[in-house]
Amino acid sequence: MKEQIDITPKSEIKWPQGSKIEVGPDVDFIYIMRKDGKFAMPPIAQKMATDYQLHEEVLTQTFLEEYDTFFAKLADIFKWAYSSRGNFELHLFDPDILESQVRLKSSGQPIVSLDPLMNQGVQEFGVSRGYFLGGTKDFDQVARPGYSTLSNQSHDIATSVNGHPVTVSEDDIFSGGSVIASLNALLESGVAINKVIPGIQIGKPKKLSDMGLSVDPIIEYQTTDGADIFSKLDLGDPRDYLLGASGLVIKLPNGEYGRAPYILPFVSTTARAGIPVEIENEFALKALQANFEFFNTVQDKTGKPVLLKHMDHSFLVYMHQMYGVDPNTEMGQITAWLMENIDGFWETTKKQGEFQEKLALLKLPEDIVFLDVNGTLFPDDAVTGYIPEDDIALLNQAVATVKSKGLAVGLCSDSPLPQLQEIAKKLGVDGPIIAENGNIIFNDGQALTLNELPEIETHKNKIIKQAKKLGFQQTEDCTAPEFGGKQVDVNNSQWSFGANRKTSVTVFGPSQLIDQLGLYFNHQQGFNTDCSPEYNFFAIHPGENYKQNKGYTLNTLSAYGHNIVMVGNSMSDWVEPEHGVVCAFVGGARINGNATNKAGYISDKPTMKGVIDILEKIQ
| Residue range 478-507, pLDDT digits in tens | 998 778 788 888 888 999 999 999 999 999
Return the pLDDT at 23: 94
At 415-434, the pLDDT tens digits run 999 999 999 999 999 999 99
**Span 596-608, mean pLDDT?**
95
pLDDT of 601 strictly over 60: yes
Residues 389 and 255 in one domain: no
Handedness of CA 440, 443, 444, 450 (dihedral sign): negative
Residue 211 lies in a domain: yes
Q: How many CB atoms sit inside 10 A of residue 185's CB? A: 23
Return the pLDDT at 523: 80
CATH code assigned at 580: 3.40.50.1000
Contacts of 552 (CB under 8 A, 6+ apart): 438, 450
Query: What is residue 446's three-state secondary structure?
Result: strand
pLDDT of 3 strictly over 80: no
What is the pTM (predicted TM-score) of this model?
0.87
Residues 483 and 607 in one domain: no
Rg (CA), the chain: 30
Give CA–CA dist 298/277, Å, rounded.
32
Residue 187 lies in a domain: yes
At 148-192, the pLDDT tens digits run 999 999 999 999 999 999 999 999 998 777 888 899 999 999 999
Domain boundary, last residue among 327, 359, 391:
359
Residues 595 and 463 in one domain: no
Return the pLDDT at 480: 83
At 280-289, the pLDDT tens digits run 999 999 999 9
Give CA–CA dist 248/139, Å, rounded.
13
Give CA–CA dist 42/312, Å, rounded.
11
Query: What is residue 377's three-state secondary structure?
Result: coil
At 355-410, the pLDDT tens digits run 999 999 999 999 999 999 999 998 877 667 677 889 899 999 999 999 999 999 99
State what percent of residues in the chain have pLDDT above 70: 98
At 80-122, the pLDDT tens digits run 999 888 999 999 999 999 999 999 999 999 999 999 999 999 9
If you average pLDDT over every residue of the chain, what do you get?
A: 93
Residues 293 and 422 in one domain: no
Residue 6 lies in a domain: no
Return the pLDDT at 7: 61
Residues 327 and 209 in one domain: yes
Domain boundary, last residue among 308, 340, 359:
359
Residues 205 and 106 in one domain: yes
Residue 2 lies in a domain: no
For residue 475, report the phi and psi dihedrals to the nearest 5 degrees.
-115, 180
Give CA–CA dist 247/237, Å, rounded.
9
Give CA–CA dist 391/378, Å, rounded.
11
Cβ proximity of 65 and 51 under 8 Å:
no
Residues 473 and 572 in one domain: no
Residues 511 and 605 in one domain: no
Cβ proximity of 218 and 98 under 8 Å:
yes
Task: Work out whether strand 138-143 and strand 20-23 pair parallel, antiparallel, or are unpaired.
Answer: unpaired
Residue 5 lies in a domain: no
**Span 556-577, mean pLDDT?**
93
Give CA–CA dist 357/378, Å, rounded.
35
What range does the domain containing 371 cover? 363-451+547-617
**Span 338-361, mean pLDDT?**
96
Return the pLDDT at 485: 83
Q: How many CB atoms sit inside 10 A of residue 232's CB? A: 19
Give CA–CA dist 142/181, Å, rounded.
9
Q: What confidence tier does 207 reach under pLDDT thresholds 50, 70, 90? A: confident
Query: What is residue 602's three-state secondary structure?
Result: strand
DSSP 169-218: EEEEESSSGGGHHHHHHHHHTTPPEEEEEEEEEES--HHHHHTT-EE--S
Residues 435 and 485 in one domain: no
Reported as type and span, the H/E element at residue 73 is: helix 56-82
Return the pLDDT at 1: 43
DSSP 288-353: HHHHHHHHHHHHHHHSS--BGGGS-HHHHHHHHHHH---TTSBHHHHHHHHHHTHHHHHHHHHHHH
Return the pLDDT at 204: 83
Amino acid at the residue 127: V
Residue 4 lies in a domain: no
End-to-end CA distance of the chain: 90
Residues 217 and 275 in one domain: yes
Query: What is residue 225's three-state secondary structure?
Result: coil
Cβ burial, residue 226 (10 Å; 0-12/13-18/19+):
exposed
Domain boundary, last residue among 298, 333, 359:
359
Amino acid at the residue 258: G
Q: What angle (nearest 5°) sits at the alpha carbon of residue 546, between those of residues 540 and 549?
A: 135
Residue 565 lies in a domain: yes
Give CA–CA dist 584/587, Å, rounded.
10
Residue in 252, 269, 363, 376 with CA at minimum distance from that of residue 318: 252
Residues 577 and 517 in one domain: no
Give CA–CA dist 223/168, Å, rounded.
26
At 47-74, the pLDDT tens digits run 999 999 999 999 999 999 999 999 999 9
Residue 241 lies in a domain: yes
pLDDT of 411 strictly over 70: yes
Residues 343 and 369 in one domain: no
Amino acid at the residue 506: T
Contacts of 149 (CB under 8 A, 6+ apart): 143
pLDDT of 608 strictly over 70: yes
Number of structural domains found in the chain: 3
Q: How many CB atoms sit inside 10 A of residue 469's CB? A: 10
State what percent of residues in the chain have pLDDT above 90: 84
Cβ proximity of 2 and 81 under 8 Å:
no
Return the pLDDT at 546: 87
